[in-house]
Amino acid sequence: MKLNLAKNQKYKNTMANTGDNSQVTEILKKDPQFENFRNYYFDVVGQNRSTLFNFFLENNDIFQSISKEDENALQASYMEYANRTFNWTMGSLAGVLFVDKVVMRYAFPNFRINSFRGVLWVAKYVGVPLLSYGLCKYYFCQDIEKTFQEAVEKYNFNFEDYNKAMDIFEVANKAGRLEELLNTGKNFDWSTIPEAAKTSTQNSPQ
Protein backbone atom coordinates (compact mmCIF):
# COMPACT_ATOMS: atom_id res chain seq x y z
CA MET A 1 0.00 0.00 0.00
CA LYS A 2 1.71 3.14 -1.19
CA LEU A 3 1.64 6.05 1.22
CA ASN A 4 -0.44 8.85 -0.28
CA LEU A 5 -0.67 11.43 2.48
CA ALA A 6 -0.25 14.26 -0.01
CA LYS A 7 -3.61 13.42 -1.56
CA ASN A 8 -5.44 13.12 1.77
CA GLN A 9 -7.66 16.19 2.10
CA LYS A 10 -7.35 16.20 5.89
CA TYR A 11 -3.64 16.88 5.59
CA LYS A 12 -3.66 18.86 2.37
CA ASN A 13 -2.79 22.10 4.16
CA THR A 14 0.52 20.60 5.34
CA MET A 15 1.69 19.68 1.85
CA ALA A 16 2.27 23.09 0.25
CA ASN A 17 5.90 23.58 -0.72
CA THR A 18 6.51 27.16 0.35
CA GLY A 19 10.23 27.07 -0.41
CA ASP A 20 10.82 28.87 2.91
CA ASN A 21 14.01 27.48 4.47
CA SER A 22 13.04 28.94 7.84
CA GLN A 23 10.98 25.78 8.27
CA VAL A 24 14.18 23.78 8.67
CA THR A 25 14.63 24.96 12.27
CA GLU A 26 11.19 23.55 13.07
CA ILE A 27 11.75 20.27 11.30
CA LEU A 28 12.28 18.04 14.32
CA LYS A 29 9.18 19.22 16.16
CA LYS A 30 6.27 16.79 16.16
CA ASP A 31 3.37 17.62 13.88
CA PRO A 32 0.11 16.65 15.67
CA GLN A 33 -1.69 16.10 12.39
CA PHE A 34 1.05 13.82 11.12
CA GLU A 35 1.11 11.96 14.45
CA ASN A 36 -2.60 11.25 14.03
CA PHE A 37 -1.99 10.03 10.49
CA ARG A 38 0.98 7.92 11.62
CA ASN A 39 -1.21 6.07 14.13
CA TYR A 40 -4.12 5.73 11.72
CA TYR A 41 -1.94 4.42 8.91
CA PHE A 42 -0.36 1.79 11.13
CA ASP A 43 -3.86 0.45 11.78
CA VAL A 44 -4.09 -0.03 8.01
CA VAL A 45 -0.68 -1.48 7.16
CA GLY A 46 0.05 -3.06 10.53
CA GLN A 47 -2.83 -5.54 10.40
CA ASN A 48 -0.29 -8.34 10.08
CA ARG A 49 3.34 -8.84 9.13
CA SER A 50 2.49 -9.30 5.45
CA THR A 51 0.76 -5.94 5.01
CA LEU A 52 3.54 -4.24 7.00
CA PHE A 53 6.14 -5.87 4.75
CA ASN A 54 4.23 -4.60 1.71
CA PHE A 55 4.53 -1.05 3.07
CA PHE A 56 8.33 -1.36 3.12
CA LEU A 57 8.49 -3.16 -0.22
CA GLU A 58 6.37 -0.57 -2.03
CA ASN A 59 8.45 2.26 -0.55
CA ASN A 60 11.80 0.49 -0.84
CA ASP A 61 13.09 3.10 -3.27
CA ILE A 62 12.98 5.49 -0.30
CA PHE A 63 13.91 3.29 2.68
CA GLN A 64 16.32 0.88 0.94
CA SER A 65 15.42 -1.57 3.72
CA ILE A 66 15.09 -4.61 1.43
CA SER A 67 18.07 -5.80 -0.57
CA LYS A 68 17.98 -5.22 -4.31
CA GLU A 69 18.32 -8.96 -4.91
CA ASP A 70 15.28 -9.74 -2.78
CA GLU A 71 13.31 -6.86 -4.28
CA ASN A 72 13.99 -8.12 -7.81
CA ALA A 73 13.02 -11.68 -6.81
CA LEU A 74 9.74 -10.43 -5.32
CA GLN A 75 8.98 -8.33 -8.39
CA ALA A 76 9.61 -11.34 -10.61
CA SER A 77 7.33 -13.44 -8.40
CA TYR A 78 4.60 -10.85 -8.65
CA MET A 79 4.86 -10.78 -12.43
CA GLU A 80 4.63 -14.57 -12.49
CA TYR A 81 1.55 -14.38 -10.24
CA ALA A 82 -0.06 -11.78 -12.52
CA ASN A 83 0.69 -13.88 -15.63
CA ARG A 84 -0.68 -17.08 -14.13
CA THR A 85 -3.91 -15.59 -12.84
CA PHE A 86 -4.43 -13.67 -16.09
CA ASN A 87 -3.88 -16.78 -18.21
CA TRP A 88 -6.24 -18.86 -16.09
CA THR A 89 -8.91 -16.17 -16.12
CA MET A 90 -8.73 -15.44 -19.85
CA GLY A 91 -8.27 -19.13 -20.70
CA SER A 92 -11.49 -20.05 -18.88
CA LEU A 93 -13.32 -17.23 -20.64
CA ALA A 94 -12.03 -18.46 -24.01
CA GLY A 95 -13.13 -21.97 -23.09
CA VAL A 96 -16.65 -20.80 -22.26
CA LEU A 97 -16.84 -18.91 -25.55
CA PHE A 98 -15.65 -21.96 -27.49
CA VAL A 99 -18.18 -24.27 -25.85
CA ASP A 100 -20.99 -21.75 -26.15
CA LYS A 101 -20.37 -20.57 -29.71
CA VAL A 102 -18.87 -23.67 -31.34
CA VAL A 103 -19.57 -26.89 -29.45
CA MET A 104 -23.15 -26.14 -28.41
CA ARG A 105 -24.04 -24.48 -31.72
CA TYR A 106 -22.85 -27.31 -33.96
CA ALA A 107 -22.98 -30.39 -31.74
CA PHE A 108 -26.28 -29.57 -30.05
CA PRO A 109 -28.04 -27.08 -32.33
CA ASN A 110 -31.49 -27.72 -30.82
CA PHE A 111 -30.42 -27.40 -27.18
CA ARG A 112 -31.99 -24.34 -25.53
CA ILE A 113 -32.51 -23.11 -21.99
CA ASN A 114 -35.30 -20.56 -22.09
CA SER A 115 -35.51 -19.83 -18.36
CA PHE A 116 -33.05 -17.73 -16.36
CA ARG A 117 -31.06 -16.78 -19.43
CA GLY A 118 -29.60 -13.68 -17.73
CA VAL A 119 -28.47 -15.68 -14.71
CA LEU A 120 -26.97 -18.33 -16.99
CA TRP A 121 -25.07 -15.70 -18.97
CA VAL A 122 -23.61 -14.19 -15.79
CA ALA A 123 -22.66 -17.64 -14.50
CA LYS A 124 -20.84 -18.50 -17.73
CA TYR A 125 -19.08 -15.25 -18.55
CA VAL A 126 -18.47 -13.88 -15.05
CA GLY A 127 -18.73 -16.78 -12.64
CA VAL A 128 -16.46 -19.21 -14.50
CA PRO A 129 -13.58 -16.71 -15.00
CA LEU A 130 -13.81 -15.65 -11.34
CA LEU A 131 -13.78 -19.28 -10.25
CA SER A 132 -10.73 -19.94 -12.42
CA TYR A 133 -8.95 -16.92 -10.97
CA GLY A 134 -9.65 -18.14 -7.43
CA LEU A 135 -8.46 -21.67 -8.19
CA CYS A 136 -5.23 -20.36 -9.65
CA LYS A 137 -4.64 -17.90 -6.82
CA TYR A 138 -5.23 -20.28 -3.94
CA TYR A 139 -4.04 -23.60 -5.39
CA PHE A 140 -1.56 -22.94 -8.19
CA CYS A 141 0.41 -19.99 -6.82
CA GLN A 142 1.63 -21.60 -3.62
CA ASP A 143 5.26 -21.36 -4.70
CA ILE A 144 4.87 -17.61 -5.20
CA GLU A 145 3.17 -17.23 -1.83
CA LYS A 146 6.04 -19.16 -0.26
CA THR A 147 8.61 -16.77 -1.76
CA PHE A 148 6.75 -13.81 -0.32
CA GLN A 149 6.30 -15.36 3.13
CA GLU A 150 9.99 -16.26 3.30
CA ALA A 151 10.82 -12.60 2.68
CA VAL A 152 8.33 -11.54 5.39
CA GLU A 153 10.02 -13.88 7.85
CA LYS A 154 13.51 -12.80 6.81
CA TYR A 155 12.99 -9.06 7.37
CA ASN A 156 10.42 -9.32 10.17
CA PHE A 157 9.55 -5.60 10.17
CA ASN A 158 7.91 -4.34 13.37
CA PHE A 159 6.35 -1.22 14.88
CA GLU A 160 9.76 0.25 15.66
CA ASP A 161 10.81 -0.05 12.02
CA TYR A 162 7.52 1.52 10.98
CA ASN A 163 8.07 4.50 13.28
CA LYS A 164 11.57 5.05 11.92
CA ALA A 165 10.18 4.99 8.39
CA MET A 166 7.42 7.42 9.26
CA ASP A 167 9.99 9.73 10.88
CA ILE A 168 11.56 10.07 7.44
CA PHE A 169 8.19 10.90 5.89
CA GLU A 170 7.48 13.39 8.66
CA VAL A 171 10.72 15.25 8.04
CA ALA A 172 9.84 15.64 4.36
CA ASN A 173 6.26 16.55 5.29
CA LYS A 174 7.35 19.30 7.68
CA ALA A 175 9.49 20.76 4.90
CA GLY A 176 6.48 20.68 2.56
CA ARG A 177 8.19 18.16 0.29
CA LEU A 178 6.60 14.80 1.07
CA GLU A 179 5.00 14.52 -2.35
CA GLU A 180 8.37 15.19 -3.97
CA LEU A 181 9.95 12.45 -1.84
CA LEU A 182 7.27 9.95 -2.85
CA ASN A 183 7.75 10.82 -6.51
CA THR A 184 11.56 10.81 -6.60
CA GLY A 185 12.33 8.07 -4.06
CA LYS A 186 16.04 7.47 -3.58
CA ASN A 187 16.83 10.41 -5.88
CA PHE A 188 15.34 12.90 -3.42
CA ASP A 189 17.86 15.63 -2.61
CA TRP A 190 18.15 15.61 1.18
CA SER A 191 21.02 18.11 1.03
CA THR A 192 18.45 20.88 0.57
CA ILE A 193 17.20 20.06 4.10
CA PRO A 194 20.44 19.69 6.13
CA GLU A 195 18.83 18.65 9.42
CA ALA A 196 16.51 16.31 7.57
CA ALA A 197 19.41 14.59 5.83
CA LYS A 198 20.96 13.73 9.17
CA THR A 199 17.66 12.57 10.65
CA SER A 200 16.68 10.42 7.67
CA THR A 201 20.02 8.63 7.76
CA GLN A 202 19.77 7.93 11.46
CA ASN A 203 16.18 6.71 11.25
CA SER A 204 16.44 4.67 8.10
CA PRO A 205 15.22 1.12 8.87
CA GLN A 206 17.83 -1.59 8.58
In a shared domain, residues 55 and 78: no
Counted domains in the chain: 2
Q: Mean pLDDT of residues grouped by 10 in the chain (206 residues)? A: 44 36 37 78 86 93 94 95 97 94 85 82 93 95 94 94 91 88 89 64 48
Structural domain span for residue 140:
69-151
Taken in order 18, 175, 52, 58, the sign of the CA dihedral is: positive
CA separation for the pair 84, 88 (Å, rounded): 6
185 and 178 Cβ atoms separated by less than 8 Å: no
What does the DSSP assignment read for 42-93? Answer: HHHHTSSHHHHHHHHHHTHHHH--S-HHHHHHHHHHHHHHHHHHHHHHHHHH
In a shared domain, residues 39 and 74: no
In a shared domain, residues 56 and 39: yes
In a shared domain, residues 57 and 73: no
- 66-109 pLDDT tens trace: 999 999 999 999 999 999 999 999 999 999 999 988 988 888 88
